[in-house]
Amino acid sequence: MNICFASLRKRINYTDVLEYGMDVFYECFRYYKDNNKQHKYSYYNFAWGSKGAERNPDAIKNADVVIFPAVQEFIYFADAMHPRDVEKSQAEIRKTYEHLNDKHIILITQDRGVDEKMIMQYTFENQVKPKSFQTIDEMDFTMCLQGLKYHYINSSFRFPCEKNTDFVYWGSDKSKTAGGNKSGDSRLNIIKSIAKNPDVSSTIIGRWPSGVKVEKKWIPLKETLGYLDQSYSTLCFNWIDLTAVTGRYHEALACDIVPFVWQDYDTNNILITDDWQRCLTIDDLYSKIEEVKESSKWLDKIKSDFIKRLPTEEQYYKEFEIILNDCIKR
């Protein structure tokens, strides 16, 4: 097969883990192409190393399979960006439509709001007719593919530091879905309340509307770790699919942060160790933050259970290889 790995929006010159949001998938694909020489590989707007990524339409045109890692795709259609910037990005994608027709497309996603329907309707504007469309989701993997983040953070060098911040959150507002419709997600109001509470020291990082004081708007995870290492707790949310989990849980434990979860997050208990981690109200969260500041009992219990069940890096890469091979065979 001729396989094209295509970053349809952002130019990605991939250098290292913890520098890019989809590094777990990039590393899995690196492992795959290194161990599956029977295929030919090309790249569109993506390169291994600090330079070289270019929008080469022939890479897509000559491919049998196009693998599309969708990086925060939903924000382009959730009224989170200036229409001018969205249109500029869409104009580039439109140039690929004719080459994407009659291809086997494999979407790689780590966001509940990004699926086949959204890509076909919004990203491709109902103008692409692929031969097949399949999806590889972070939730297709044991304890979620973001478990790799734990290994990457655990292997990174950081200067030791003391905990001095009650709560940290790194992420973005999810109050709207593609099309600008209200999602019903409650995190904006929760994070806003925490940030305004004078009795709880907090650090908020990411893309948030006015009314939420942020320390940094958006920085690579590698630069975020310094803030995480100084913090006691965080809160994990999900939207659309309450059975799914998110990378924040894995990242938190790698930085010795207690990962609380909001209400029905991870309803199948894929990650959480004890129902004590569930916070049903914001006052419930505040009370539990005081507990983790007084003792490491809960952190030790949660982290020990997590590590016992977490696959190794090699196991994750092999799991990806099996899943991608299955998609290609179809």
Q: What is the pLDDT of residue 113?
A: 84
Quote the mean pLDDT of the chain: 95
Could you tell me the pLDDT band of residue 47, with boundaries at 50, 70 and 90? very high
Q: What is the pLDDT of residue 53?
A: 98
Is the CA virtual torsion 117, 120, 122, 127 positive or negative? negative
Report pLDDT digits (tens) over 238-268: 877 888 899 999 999 999 999 999 999 999 9
159 with 303, same domain: the answer is yes
Q: Where are the alpha helices (DSSP H) in 155-215?
A: 187-196
Best CA proximity match to 285, nearest among 167, 164, 148: 167
Residues facing 176 on adjacent strands: 182
Q: What is the pLDDT of residue 78?
A: 83
Could you tell me the pLDDT band of residue 175, with boundaries at 50, 70 and 90? confident
240 with 318, same domain: the answer is no
The DSSP bridge pattern shows strands 132-137 and 104-109 to be: parallel
User: Which CATH number is 170's domain given?
Assistant: 3.40.50.2000
187 with 305, same domain: the answer is yes
Q: What is the pLDDT of residue 184?
A: 72
State yes or no: pLDDT of 74 exceeds 90. no
99 with 195, same domain: the answer is no
SS3 235: strand
Which residues in 110-215 belong to E strands, given as ranges?
132-137, 165-172, 202-207
Q: Total domain count for the chain?
A: 2
Enter the pTM of the model. Answer: 0.94
37 with 130, same domain: the answer is yes
Mean per-residue pLDDT, 256-282: 96
11 with 121, same domain: the answer is yes
Q: What is the pLDDT of residue 302?
A: 98
Residues 41 and 33: beta-carbon distance below 8 Å: yes
186 with 247, same domain: the answer is yes
114 with 26, same domain: the answer is yes
Report pLDDT digits (tens) over 144-168: 999 999 999 999 999 999 999 999 9
State yes or no: pLDDT of 100 exceeds 80. yes
Q: What is the pLDDT of residue 34?
A: 98
Q: How far is CA 117 from the centre of its chain?
A: 19
Best CA proximity match to 249, nearest among 262, 257, 259: 259
SS3 23: helix
119 with 156, same domain: the answer is no
Domain membership of residue 113 as a residue range: 2-142+313-329
SS3 270: coil
Mean per-residue pLDDT, 297-314: 98
DSSP at 310: P
User: Which CATH number is 99's domain given?
Assistant: 3.40.50
